[in-house]
Structure 1
Amino acid sequence: MAISRRRLLSLFLLCAFSSLPAQAAARGGSHPSGTGGNYGSFLRNLLQDNPMVTEELIHGYMSNSELEIAVHAIGSRCPNISRIYSIGKSVNGVTLWVIEISDKPGQKEAEPAFKYVGNVHGDEPVGREVLIKLANWLCDNYLKDPLATLIVENMHLHILPTMNPDGFALRRRGNANNVDLNRDFPDQFFPINDEINYRQPETRAIMNWVKQEHFTASASLHGLSAVIKAISGNGEAPHQGALVANYPWDGSRDQRYPIYGGMQDWNYIHGGCFELTLEVSDVKWPKSAELPVIWEHNRMSMLNLAASLVKTGVHGRIFAADTGHPIPGSLTIKGIDSEIRASRTYGDYHRMLAPGENYEVMASMEGFRTKATRIVVDEKAVSLDFILDRDGANGQVIRNDLDYPCDHDKLFHVQGARLELYLFVLLIIIALYVLFKRKTTSKFTTHRHSPKRPIAV
């Protein structure tokens, strides 16, 4: 695996999991505050058989209808920072609801977007429970907690509590057609998976969602790692697993890796979205009384993982020099075999990078000259705008090192050759205005907004 990808992984793990207590999450240890409580009793024997999924065991978990009520309750309770929308339906017609968290929900902004997906496998329900708790926590703590405020005001967080409601209702891994949704995505090494008409409706919903929302990063929450099955070499799925953070690639050309048709590889290749697969529970169905414990052990990690989008990496916009308009160019990092596209609306791009390194960043667009520059990523995000000229002209690279890149859409870009013309027109307008004021006795109150700060002159 390329060293750049290992550095990228280290960034995610450092940002996301540095807040965990010293003990392994969800497998014992003390309360994060050091007060003890019932957390010490959460230690498990990994060799213990997973209990059968009985009605007693699932008591306390939300049904699909209860989950839908909980989703809409969040939208009703915090309408100023949330939006509830659907990305499609399951095989059995259950709506796949998403909670968007932002200070401007539903609006396009030059901000990064992150998504959480839970319950990919129907018999791994912990993710759906903790994601509802995450949305409620952000709703309760906006403008009270600095991390909650950072997330709400500087990014768009999308939460899909369940991708596989039919599998959950059936208490099995696959969906209603008994298809493993995490093997159902188009795969770079198996073209047979590329036929979209054969994909499950839940899979198609995710694919359309990713193409529409322009996500920068993502995480799917699972329980009980399937990696153990591959290591053990036997044909039976294990009853107990391990806590795992898995990242691309899942498959390889020589078939040494265990997963093909996985969601995270498709996200990275086709959506430019770096996704982690997180095993947050060492059993599939922990008792419902343990869910608050699992939430507390993972809360800060989940928040920090999302917040890492705006705390580090390189962010910016790509503009056409001749018009000053944003363009949907492409951004690449030398040494990283992945290309991301800027958005069509604002030309904004967002790329996760490990801190403490220098990178060569290149912006390109068909019909324009490619421009490149080197940056050093420290502990804070680097803001880097590109102004590209048409073929045959000289482009510009604009550095604007802000703590966060999320206000770029509020900045007015003036290009040097046009500055004198703009000033001349402005003087004419001012002169006409003064003459008009002298000749009229009307008493209107004029409200003027302060000009937007230029970053290119």
Structure 2
Amino acid sequence: MAISRPHSRLLLLLHAIFALTTQAAARGGHDRSGTDDRNLGSFYRNLLQDKPRITEEMVRGYMSNHELENAIHAFGSRCPNISRIYSIGKSVNNFPLWVIEISDKAGQKEAEPAFKFIGNVHGDEPVGREVLMLLANWLCDNYLKDPLATLIVENVHLHILPTMNPDGFALRWRGNANNIDLNRDFPDQFFSINNDINYRQPETKAIMNWVNQERFTASASLHGGALVANYPWDGTRDKSKQYYGCPDDKTFQYMASVYSQSHHNMSLSKEFEGGITNGAFWYPIYGGMQDWNYIHGGCFELTLEISDNKWPKAAELPVIWEHNRMSMLNLVASLVKSGIHGRIFAADTGQPIPGSVMIKGVDSKVNASMTFGDYHRIIAPGEKYEVIASMEGFRPKATRTVLLEGESVNLDFILDPNGPDGKMKLLRNHCGCRCGDDKLFHMQGPNLGLYLLVSFVLLILYLLFKRKSASRLLTYRYSPRRPIAV
């Protein structure tokens, strides 16, 4: 059918506009520099023309959503001793978002770090879902055979979400069923574009609830369209394209380099020095998932571009897997092979407490768990750090300088409770009596000597109890050599 000249001009114009957005296609969305954020709303989360033509030939060899679902459950049946299968929610079209948890104690709470991989954030980037299933099966096949597989299974809780966007995959376009870019749908630190929860997509809500329920130490999402490890910040305050590092910039550079240097050829990139990039320096995006994870979940997340071609032929998938296998394994293993780990205890009770840990000079903190008081602080090796533990109602405690070299450092903290003037808070015993009640201890005349004697005995008993509690804590070990801050 012939196309009129005005229509042909319109098509050429649309093609030109689409071409300008190609660079931003890897991480999703459009360049919004110069836009008025007060009017952004949900409009800029719609992808409009971003619907590439994906042929049947391109799709051949990739698992359909139902085939992927069957593969996930088949994995759970094949490897029940080190896995569990669960769903974190459903997509717009009601497809379950299945997760594989891999651990020697899957489903149980442990004083161990947790890592999550997320694939297929964008519907037209399916390599991640295939590679993540290959990773899960490799760990199952090599547990107790390969040292790295065994280290991960026994020391990390690894959660794998092969597809965050099953609807987009089925529709063969970038966004979800509502044509929303899920990597633009999270609350943003600089602009209030996504603060209206009525516009937030169910897939986004599922991830946010998941992060709030699980205490992930680190994370990575798998994308296609480039070959680089991307780290925060993803945007800038003034929307300019420039290097914009977060408080843990050195740590993120280290994590990205672990991935890039372990990759077959990512570190050899001529476009990205060392195969890594700061997101805002590459091109700014807003409402991205990795910045939200770091700010609101305390989760150190990378955005990994693992294939120059978004939808390569299925025959290329085994090669892409081999190129990324050691990178994925080393990134997860780095949680226990480096960094600072430990637990926080209350000196008076000997019980673990959910305090927080900071590195002096780094404006971010990592929270310890409610159950075990354990914390896991990723930090770049090769430097000296001062570690500070704190919690409301307790005196903060800092270590002497800790040199973090090629191995992880294990460090427990025992915090002393305090009161308004630095005195110990009055505690109730199991009967509910206030041990510091003025009337109970008000003595006069002949009773003064008895009062002093009782006070002395109580002081001795308290000191003995405190010493016994501290001694009991010293028996806990992550490893044979553990520095203890007391």
Larger Rg: 2
Match of 2:415 in 1: 388
| 2:402 aligned residue (349, 357, 375) | 375
Match of 2:203 in 1: 202
Cα distance change on mapping 1:393 and 1:75 into 2, 3 Å: farther
Report the Cα offset of residue 339 of structure 1.
1.5
In 1, Cα distance between equivalents of 2:474 and 2:377:
26
Residue 250 (str. 1) matches residue 277 (str. 2): no
Which AA in structure 2 matches 1:372? A
| 2:465 aligned residue (418, 423, 438) | 418
Match of 1:322 in 2: 348
Cα-to-partner distance string for 1:212-241 (whole Å, 9 max, x where unaligned): 1100000100001xxxxxxxxxxxxxxxxx
Match of 1:453 in 2: 475
In 1, Cα distance between equivalents of 2:363 and 2:208:
21
Cα distance change on mapping 1:112 and 1:416 into 2, 3 Å: farther
Match of 2:322 in 1: 296
Cα distance change on mapping 1:295 and 1:416 into 2, 3 Å: farther
In 1, Cα distance between equivalents of 2:395 and 2:307:
49
Report the Cα offset of residue 201 of structure 1.
0.4
Runs of at least 5 residues in structure 1 that lack an aligned partner in the other structure: 1-49, 225-241, 395-414, 423-450
Report the Cα offset of residue 337 of structure 1.
2.0
Cα distance change on mapping 1:277 and 1:388 into 2, 3 Å: same
Check the 8 A contact 1:88/1:202 in 2, yes or no. Answer: yes
Report the Cα offset of residue 420 of structure 1.
7.4
Secondary structure of the 2:316 match is helix
Residue 83 (str. 1) matches residue 84 (str. 2): yes
Match of 1:440 in 2: none
**TM-score, scaled relative to structure 2:** 0.68
Match of 2:157 in 1: 156
Cα distance change on mapping 1:384 and 1:84 into 2, 3 Å: same
Indicate the percent of aligned positions where both proteins have the same amino acid. 77
Which AA in structure 2 matches 1:367? G
Check the 8 A contact 2:118/2:222 in 1, yes or no. Answer: yes
Cα distance change on mapping 1:333 and 1:419 into 2, 3 Å: closer
Equivalence map 1:221-232=2 (5 Å): 221-224=222-225
In 1, Cα distance between equivalents of 2:296 and 2:373:
18
Cα-to-partner distance string for 1:147-176 (whole Å, 9 max, x where unaligned): 000000001000000000000000111000
Cα-to-partner distance string for 1:176-222 (whole Å, 9 max, x where unaligned): 00000000000111124223332100001000111111000001000
Match of 2:297 in 1: 271
In 1, Cα distance between equivalents of 2:467 and 2:415:
21
| 2:338 aligned residue (312, 315, 322) | 312
In 2, Cα distance between equivalents of 1:215 and 1:93:
26
Report the Cα offset of residue 321 of structure 1.
1.1
Cα distance change on mapping 1:110 and 1:416 into 2, 3 Å: farther
Cα distance change on mapping 1:452 and 1:417 into 2, 3 Å: closer
Report the Cα offset of residue 369 of structure 1.
1.0
Match of 2:30 in 1: none
Cα distance change on mapping 1:377 and 1:452 into 2, 3 Å: closer
Match of 1:10 in 2: none
In 1, Cα distance between equivalents of 2:395 and 2:311:
55
Secondary structure of the 1:215 match is coil
User: For the aligned residues, what is the CA RMSD?
Assistant: 2.1
Match of 1:359 in 2: 385
Match of 2:139 in 1: 138
In 2, Cα distance between equivalents of 1:109 and 1:194:
34
Match of 1:332 in 2: 358
Secondary structure of the 2:198 match is helix
Cα-to-partner distance string for 1:249-277 (whole Å, 9 max, x where unaligned): 00111112321000000000001111110
Runs of at least 5 residues in structure 2 that lack an aligned partner in the other structure: 1-50, 241-279, 425-461, 478-483
In 2, Cα distance between equivalents of 1:363 and 1:122:
42
Which AA in structure 2 matches 1:202? E
In 2, Cα distance between equivalents of 1:162 and 1:73:
16
Q: Which moved more, 1:147-156 or 1:372-381?
A: 372-381
Check the 8 A contact 1:111/1:155 in 2, yes or no. Answer: yes
Report the Cα offset of residue 56 of structure 1.
1.1
Report the Cα offset of residue 52 of structure 1.
4.5
In 2, Cα distance between equivalents of 1:322 and 1:132:
47
Report the Cα offset of residue 356 of structure 1.
1.1
Residue 284 (str. 1) matches residue 310 (str. 2): yes
Check the 8 A contact 1:369/1:393 in 2, yes or no. Answer: no
